[in-house]
Structures are given as C-alpha cells and as structure tokens.
Amino acid sequence: MGLAAGTIPQAISKRGFRRWYERELLSGHANLVLLIVATLGAMGALEAFSFEDSDHLVLIASMVTAAVVGAWALRRYFTVLMRAELIANQAVCGECQTYGRFEVEHGEHQAMQVCCRGCGHRWRVEW
C-alpha cells in the first residue's frame, strides 16, 4: 500500500486501529510523566538557590530547560490525546456500527479513506 512511512494512516494500517489507539493513549500519558519530572527538576533547582556556593547561572539554565521541556510535554499530551479521541470518534462504521475494525485504503496528511472489515462500507476519517 502506498502509505507514507511514519504517518498516522500507516501506523493504523500496520497495527490495526485498536492497538494504535492504545499506544497513542500510552504515549500521551508518557508526556504527563515527563511533565511531572520537569516540574520536580524545576522545584529542585529553585530550592538549590538557597544553598551556599550554588552556581546561579547553572540553576537558571536548569529551570529554563525544565520549563521548556515541561511546556513541550504538556502540549504533546493534549495534542496526542485530542487527536486520538478525534479519530476514535470516527472509528465506528456507519453501516454496521462496528467499532475500530477497518482497513486503511488511502492516507493523506490529516485524513484517510477507510473500509470496514465487516461490511465493506467506506468512509473518510479526518483529524
């Protein structure tokens, strides 16, 4: 199939929708863990400011890094989960109401043409 490597249609085609969806939820929540680690790092650096002979420049650099990583992780968290939900909401076959059992026939940047494995009904999924 001519699905571009590394894209959502290719990933769904390879693993099946349900397993793709589970993985998306896991990777989405991994960003939440990263956010917590970044927050703890920033708090640690903040606390170290009160230590004698602490290098303030290093601490400021650590806090900026933690803030950037944390903001990125938060953004990824929402992006991944919202996209997974958006696609999951369109994963039901309009003919036989089967959830998440379809073949990807054609993939685009933010859409794909899918075909129900149960009844052969075709529809378009967008995100």
Taking the C-alpha atoms of residue 94 and residue 114, their distance in angstroms, rounded to an integer, is 12
Q: Could you give the angle at which helices 17-48 and 56-88 cross, rounded to 10 degrees?
A: 160
Taking the C-alpha atoms of residue 62 and residue 64, their distance in angstroms, rounded to an integer, is 6
Helix or strand run (H / E) with residue 124 = strand 122-126
Q: Which range of residues in 29-37, 71-79, 91-99, 105-113 is near Zn ion by CB under 5 A? A: 91-99
Binding of Zn ion by 95 (CB under 5 A): yes
Binding of Zn ion by 116 (CB under 5 A): yes
Q: How far is CA 44 from CA 32, 33, 63, 66, in A?
A: 18, 17, 9, 10
16 vs 41 by CB, closer to Zn ion: 16
List the x/- string, 18-37, binding to Zn ion by CB under 5 A: --------------------
Q: Which range of residues in 6-14, 69-77, 104-112, 116-124 is near Zn ion by CB under 5 A? A: 116-124
Binding of Zn ion by 47 (CB under 5 A): no
- CB 20, min distance to Zn ion, A: 18
Taking the C-alpha atoms of residue 114 and residue 120, their distance in angstroms, rounded to an integer, is 9
Token couple for 50: 């009160």
Which of 73, 93, 112, 114 touches Zn ion (CB under 5 A)?
93
Binding of Zn ion by 83 (CB under 5 A): no
Binding site for Zn ion (CB under 5 A): 93, 95-96, 98, 116, 118-119, 121
